[in-house]
Structure 1
Amino acid sequence: MKITNPQKLILSIIATVGLGSLGGIFTIAEIPTWYAGLNKPSFNPPNWIFGPMWTTLYVLMGISFYLIWKLPISAARTQAIRIFIIQFILNFCWSIIFFSMHQIGWAFVEIIAMWVFILLTIIQFRKLSTLAAALLIPYLLWVSFASILNGSIWQLN
């Protein structure tokens, strides 16, 4: 990966980690209270894993976004960025729906939409950069697991 514009790389990482961390505002207070009282499946990971996992995924997302953003302006680049932004908005909204609103079923519907838009982002990014697309695969895998977890929590509660 050749870094042609370090400012864009830094801004991409700070933006994804920073905006992604804002979702934590809606999450953190609910973990020891509401979330702790929910019935969860046996495969529910320990709470401490979520922070490092999401931070890593947001860094990878930032690098991936940078690889697309640094490209010359084109219709394909614009479309890829739009889809990335949609999936990122869905990512942010999930925390609000699940943790703040306590709407587990609607959060499940929303995370499925997010999963679809992550896949669409990977497809669009792949047209422009194989590396940018590959960097989003861990994110897709984690959201796949999170979708199963969300669906299971909904079913159990």
Structure 2
Amino acid sequence: MQIAETARDAIDGLANSEGRSTKHLLIGLGITAGAVLASALIARANAPTEDHPDIRRAYDKLDDTPLAPPKSAFAVIWPPLFLALTLSGLRVWNAPASPARTQALTLWGVVQALNATWMAIGPKHLGGQLATAIASLGTSAAYAWRARQVDQPAANMVAPYVGWVAFANVLTGDLWRRNRDRPTIH
């Protein structure tokens, strides 16, 4: 019994779920993890790997930006950022109901939709990818601001994600500038 109580206390502390039912916690976990997983699967489906030669060729045709980190860095960077984004959304989900919570959850959902859109666009439409990246940065920053009003740790968790999205905007912008005179890749 003591182990179960200790585990629940640890979960409550991490997920901001004290006083919430297990059902509420699991629904929130399903929603937040499901949304982030969907974005990750879209990213994987559109990743420039040997398994996706058309996408690889599309990226290979672009003049790359010298600002880009090594491709292997993305595999190390994205998982913890997605985990923090998931946990941040879960903490907001578990916060007491309020207009600020509703707004934060809405912004969190839009961040997820923009993630999926940006990743789905890929290198085929750099202008659309840049527009989505800019919208994602603004929405992510708005989410962090609103989450701060609901649950400070949730906002802190998402801060590195906002920073990464800002850097991704710089990379996407430079990629677009270097390749904007090329016809859209089909």
TM-score (norm 2): 0.75
Matched, 1:144 2:163: no
Cα distance in structure 1, aligned partners of 2:96 and 2:129:
36
Q: Match for residue 26 of structure 2?
A: 7
* One-letter amino acid of the counterpart of residue 26, structure 1: N
Superposed displacement of residue 8, structure 1? 5.1
Relative contact order higher in (CA < 8 Å, ≥ 6 apart): 1
The higher radius of gyration belongs to 2
Displacement over 6 Å in runs of 4+:
none
Superposed displacement of residue 129, structure 1? 1.0
Matched, 1:41 2:41: no
Matched, 1:26 2:46: yes
Across the aligned residues of Structure 1 and Structure 2, the Cα RMSD in angstroms comes to 1.9
Structure 1 portions without partners, runs of 5+: none
Q: What are the within-5 Å matches in structure 2 for residues 53-132 of structure 1?
A: 53-99=77-123, 102-132=124-154
Count how many residue pairs are aligned between Structure 1 and Structure 2: 155
Structure 2 portions without partners, runs of 5+: 1-11, 180-186
Cα distance per residue 1:63-98 (max 9 Å; x no partner): 101111011222211111011111211111011223
Superposed displacement of residue 9, structure 1? 6.5
* One-letter amino acid of the counterpart of residue 152, structure 2: T
Cα distance in structure 2, aligned partners of 1:17 and 1:121:
15
Q: Percent identity?
A: 25
SS across alignment from 1:40: coil
* One-letter amino acid of the counterpart of residue 129, structure 1: D
SS across alignment from 1:41: coil
Cα distance in structure 2, aligned partners of 1:9 and 1:49:
30
Superposed displacement of residue 27, structure 1? 2.7
